Structure 1
Amino acid sequence: MDKLKVTYEVMLGLSAEMIWDEALRKYRSEEVYKKIDKALANRDKVAFTELTEELKTLI
């Protein structure tokens, strides 16, 4: 029974970590999208290029 409990706790921890990672990725993606919009508005090609490359790694 103890082995089952340990396995369950490990799986629960992994699930929590996956949810946390997804939330952080989503938050960062939203921030990068906002910065891309700002770079486009300011006609900042360098920032736009850097941010789109970062966005590709997040997606």
Structure 2
Amino acid sequence: MDNMKVAYENMLGLAAEMVLDEALRKYRTEKLYEDIDDALARHDPEQFRLLTDELKTILS
């Protein structure tokens, strides 16, 4: 029975980690879109390039 409990706890931990990772990825993606919009509004091509490169990495 202890093996089942350990396996269950491991699965719960993995599921929690996956949920957290997805939430962080979603937050960072939304923030990048906002920052990209700001870079465009400021006519800052270097910042725009850096942010879009990061966004491409996250989305790939």
Asked if these proteins are the same fold (TM beyond 0.5), I'd say yes
Matched length = 59
Match of 2:17 in 1: 17
Match of 1:33 in 2: 33
- Cα distance in 2 for partners of 1:53, 1:27 equals 17
Structure 2 length as normaliser, TM-score?
A: 0.94
Gaps of 5+ in 1: none
Q: Does 1:8 align with 2:8?
A: yes
Structure 1 length as normaliser, TM-score?
A: 0.96
AA in 1 matched with 2:40: L
Moved over 2 A (4+): none
Identity, in percent, stands at: 61
- Cα distance in 2 for partners of 1:58, 1:12 equals 25
